[in-house]
Structure 1
Amino acid sequence: MRAARLLSVLLLLQARGRMTARQLASELEVSVRTVYRDVESLHAAGIPLYGEAGHAGGYALLDGYRTRLTGLTSQEAEALFLTGLPGPAADLGLGAVLATARLKLMAALPDDLRERANRLHQRFHLDTSGWYVDPDRTPHLGAVVGAVWEQRRVRVRYRRWAPKPEVTRTLEPYGVVLKGGRWYLVAGSCGAADEVRTYRVAEISRLRVLDERFERPTGFDLAAHWDASLREFDARRHTGEATVRLTPRALELLPHLWEPALVSAARRSARLDEPDGWLRVMIPMESVEHTGGLLLRLGAEVEVLEPEALREHVTRAVAALADMYHLH
């Protein structure tokens, strides 16, 4: 455990440059005293590490010193080869860079780790695209990524689902996210303090990178913001709850027809409804129209109990189908 921590100290200093003992302790989740002992051990091992006191002080490696990859465990080497997704890298214009990096990493590994990494590359393939949907066309992705990297504002024409279908906005791009095979831009809106929104890159119809630069909000964490926004989105869209009866077969079909959150809710709440053997379940509900559409996919193997508005919506849809097929 301590050997792994010593390597982590070395890699942190190599990747980030000068760091204080308190910063290292926070990253490694240990005490400052432990960091002092680890630094002494690295000194004793001959690592060219020096420290400076004062407000701007900290620990740093001598210029030019680099660690070797021979400190990787077999699992770490394998994990590195799973992190590079060729599809997204190509989308970002980094396909050739990723291939070159893989070759360099492979060349630097010892023979036994190189063999394990090769085996993993041959037996595991990660594909982030979704089923049954065409991939997004994202002609502006390269410009978006460039603006994110250079911290330049962008002027975009954006398509949306709203009474006014297109809007023009000036944005401060903080980062891009790949979710379910689709690219999203997380950006601040100029003139709206503390407003950070998500934009689907495929819905940007026009984009111009401006000369104006901007400063990212201090402490902004893209991954943490994305996770929080997903939780907020789920809480906002699920505005109620519906109670329905399903056949056992319908419950088995749900993973092929509904999103995971609804399937999990149905399975958790499923109770046998005597005497016909159907199951009574409760599911989160968005709008009456949206939830009604999901339930109609199950045909005659579902019955809506409440709310009444949802039951009436499904009843009207079924009646319209009966009229269409002259079943009265």
Structure 2
Amino acid sequence: MRAGRLLSLLLLLQNRGRMTAAELAAELEVSVRTVYRDVEALGAAGVPVYGEAGHAGGYALLDGYRTRLTGLTAPEAEALFLAGLPGPAAELGLGSVLAAAELKLQAALPPELGEQGRRIRERFLLDAPGWYREADEVPYLPTVADAVWRRRALRVRYRRWQAPQEVERRIEPYGIVLKAGRWYTVAGGGDEPRTYRIGQILFLEQLDEHFTPPTGFDLAQHWREHSTRLQERLWQGEAEIRVSLLGVDRLEGFAAKAVVEGVRRGTVERDGWRRAVIPVESLEHAELQLLRLGPEVEVIAPPALRDRIAATIGSMARLYA
């Protein structure tokens, strides 16, 4: 543990230049006395670190003492800094590891590339979750990640949407995917790999059983194919609607791409409204989505959807009468 702290201290001095003992202690979360001992240990190991007393004093490395990472271009360095997602890394239990890795990268880069990396961090932020939706609570994510890494089977109690809502299963987690702010694990244990939302795991136990994924299993390819199949199964029917220009603008803010494209293919009527046929998941889902447009949309067909929306609007009118 001390060796890691000594390396972090060295990298801080390489990366930031002169720092006081108090500043180093705050960064390393140790006492000032511990910093004094660590600096002495670095000096004894041959690291050219020196200290100066006074108001502008502190510890620093002799000029030129720096490890350089050769062969890395400016765009490559920028991509590496953009690739860091501190939020997801922290959820995986790797927040401190990511911070240490970035510190090492900054220390190893030539000064001009290190400065570009700092500008990237100041000006770009990657925020995975979607708007207006709380991120999943994923207390079991680090355990699932550990099982993925060590190829250990899990016994889970899982909440799903269909009955029975709670099930117990033995799964073999092949990999983890972060999609739109939600964590999933692709796991075996049956005839074919299944996808489990980690936030829906109610309890898990890591078993003393190792597993081997199927030969040739590719997580990225499997996820692409799974997403394609899911999209194909998503749309269960169609609806014909009339929507105003304002309704079109609002629809583009929340509707699925297939719905928006259906509206764009529609025809413009004399009053400026657009008549179109759009795909729908179910009558219930379509009702909830179209009610968000208020008076800016009219359902023409199917009659069952039109009747549902009319009944809901009637109930709301009576409530507010």
TM range (shorter): 0.7 to 0.9
Task: Look up the match of 1:302.
Answer: 297
Q: Alignment partner for residue 267 of structure 2, among 251, 264, 271?
A: 271
User: What TM-score does the superposition give when structure 1 sets the normalisation length?
Assistant: 0.74
**What do residues 230-289 of structure 1 show as CA deviations (whole Å, max 9, x unaligned)?**
11111101122211100111101113342344234323x132012x22111222111111
Task: Look up the match of 1:316.
Answer: 311
The secondary structure found in structure 2 opposite 1:80 is helix
**What do residues 179-198 of structure 1 show as CA deviations (whole Å, max 9, x unaligned)?**
11111111112xx22x1111
Q: Alignment partner for residue 194 of structure 2, among 178, 192, 197?
A: 197
Alpha-carbon separation, structure 2, partners of 1:94 and 1:222: 21
* Residue ranges of structure 1 left out of the alignment (5+ in a row): 1-67
1:38-53 to structure 2, matched below 5 A, reads none
Residue identity matched to 2:269: D
Task: Look up the match of 1:206.
Answer: 203
* Residue ranges of structure 2 left out of the alignment (5+ in a row): 1-67
**1:74 paired to 2:71:** no
Alpha-carbon separation, structure 2, partners of 1:318 and 1:312: 10
Residue identity matched to 1:165: Q
Alpha-carbon separation, structure 1, partners of 2:99 and 2:105: 10
The secondary structure found in structure 2 opposite 1:137 is coil
Task: Look up the match of 2:238.
Answer: 241
Residue identity matched to 1:250: G
Residue identity matched to 1:213: H
1:114-263 to structure 2, matched below 5 A, reads 114-189=114-189, 192-193=190-191, 195-263=192-260
The secondary structure found in structure 1 opposite 2:143 is helix
Alpha-carbon separation, structure 2, partners of 1:120 and 1:308: 54
Alpha-carbon separation, structure 2, partners of 1:293 and 1:75: 45
Alpha-carbon separation, structure 2, partners of 1:243 and 1:141: 43
Residue identity matched to 1:116: Q
Residue identity matched to 2:186: V
The secondary structure found in structure 2 opposite 1:174 is strand
The secondary structure found in structure 2 opposite 1:71 is coil
More displaced stretch, 223-232 vs 166-175? 223-232
**What do residues 156-207 of structure 1 show as CA deviations (whole Å, max 9, x unaligned)?**
0001111211000000101111111111111112xx22x1111111110110
Task: Look up the match of 2:91.
Answer: 91
Task: Look up the match of 1:28.
Answer: none
Residue identity matched to 1:234: Q
Q: CA deviation at 1:323?
A: 3.4
CA contact (8 A) 2:244 2:274 kept: yes
Alpha-carbon separation, structure 2, partners of 1:242 and 1:256: 19
Q: CA deviation at 1:112?
A: 1.8
CA contact (8 A) 2:263 2:274 kept: no
Q: Runs of at least 4 residues of structure 1 off by over 4 A?
A: none
Q: CA deviation at 1:325?
A: 3.6
The secondary structure found in structure 1 opposite 2:239 is strand
Task: Look up the match of 1:4.
Answer: none
Q: CA deviation at 1:131?
A: 2.2
User: What TM-score does the superposition give when structure 2 sets the normalisation length?
Assistant: 0.75
Alpha-carbon separation, structure 1, partners of 2:118 and 2:320: 59
Q: CA deviation at 1:291?
A: 0.5
Alpha-carbon separation, structure 2, partners of 1:92 and 1:138: 9
CA contact (8 A) 1:257 1:297 kept: no
Alpha-carbon separation, structure 2, partners of 1:296 and 1:99: 46
Q: Note the aligned Cα RMSD (angstroms).
A: 1.6
The secondary structure found in structure 1 opposite 2:70 is helix
